[in-house]
Amino acid sequence: MGNYKRFLMLIFLGFISFFLFSQALSLERREDTFKALKLFSQIFRLVEENYVTDVNPRDLILGAIEGMLSSLDPHSALMKPDEFKELEIETKGAFTGIGIEITIKDDVITVVAPIEDTPAWKAGIKPGDKILKIDEKSTKGMKITEAVKLLRGPKGTKVKLTILRNEKDVFEIVLTRDVIPIRSVRFKFLEPEYAYVRISQFQEKTLEELVQALRQLEKDTTLKGIILDLRNNPGGLLSAAVEVTDEFLENGTIVSIRGKSKANQMEFKAQPNPPDRKHRYPIVILINHGTASAAEIVTGALKDHKRALVLGEKSFGKGSVQTVIPIEDNYAVRLTTALYYTPSGVTINKQGIIPDIELPSIDLAKRGEKDSHVGNRTSRVIPSPEEDFQVKMALNILKNIKIISQLKY
């Protein structure tokens, strides 16, 4: 334990030296910091000497770090080695779980969106559902990282969720974990010259998949328009969102990132596409409450540049940047370092994207109801694009010359 005490003392000396000699901090702020560090040292010593059982000093320090980060916002956290490794796997497009993106909203673990064709999606989990329990463990006060760890697990194992929906309906649902699919782009013709493209999440290969899809669609016909479906897209990689947006723009700002440090002050701009990748047709984007993060970046940019018309419901409003910073012993810190801004200078965070045409979805879940006597426990019936009410309306808009003439393409 002596090594840990020395380690802790070095940390404190480093902090104190930094704050005492930094010219960037006021005298009052340095004094407040010194007092807080002294208080921490006193509590650490009291716990170590008086707590009822022996505690590992390293665990105390890690717990303090976790508490510090979680006090900032729901998205900042200390990532343990296994969590860091799993994140690296997930961004490449494969992991095992139930297939939902979660956040903390109003201090409750909340579903941003289910990922398409996953156990959560098929079981009817919806954006905005609040998870009260995972198995028999209450999520009250639970961190996102802990919730994710409980939701993940080997393929074929089961997890029970207690869900609060619409602030009134409480029900339980048992899901079987599975490998979450890696394909993020699907496409088809709705009718000659009009196509449907769905992006379910933004991963490393999303642009590659999108380019292949557009080549197939443009190969034998002159497209008159596409519907880009970003509903229930929980986001993903910023780089993928920028690449996808750039595919449809020839110039101009895609997204701005504004944070405290110069390293977090960035602006991404579109570059002209090569001659064989000029997409000269209008786009209608579909969004809903489950459209978040990277999906909101794409929507905001194409909307602001009048490259696309947006139809559906207000998006989720998750517009903050999390930077994953590797540190010693294979740990990492996930830290909110900036906010996203659309080309018009509007922040996405907690605001969301307002569609040009607001059109609520029609819930078809009852058609797949499992147990009508158990609250809202339903399985999802996934309508084909041809049967989807919002897709039909988007197709009608693409054919409306008066509305489409306002777009730039």
Catalytic residue annotation: 293, 304, 318
- The token pair at 374 is 């158990």
Contacts of range 36-44, beta carbons closer than 8 Å, 24 or more positions apart: 37/12, 40/64, 41/8, 41/12, 44/8
- The token pair at 310 is 């947006």
Task: For residues 140 and 117, give the distance between their C-alpha atoms in angstroms, rounded to a whole number.
Answer: 29
CA angle centred on 78, ends 3 and 4, rounded to 5°: 5
Strand partners, 169: 165
Beta strands 308-312 and 320-326 are: unpaired
> 228 vs 83, 129, 159, 272, 366, CA distance in Å?
32, 25, 33, 21, 26
Task: For residues 290 and 313, give the distance between their C-alpha atoms in angstroms, rounded to a whole number.
Answer: 9
Helix and strand element counts for the chain (H, E): 11, 19
Task: For residues 201 and 15, give the distance between their C-alpha atoms in angstroms, rounded to a whole number.
Answer: 41
Quick one: CA torsion of 214, 404, 202, 67, rounded to 10 degrees? 180
> 72 vs 30, 75, 76, 319, CA distance in Å?
20, 8, 7, 16
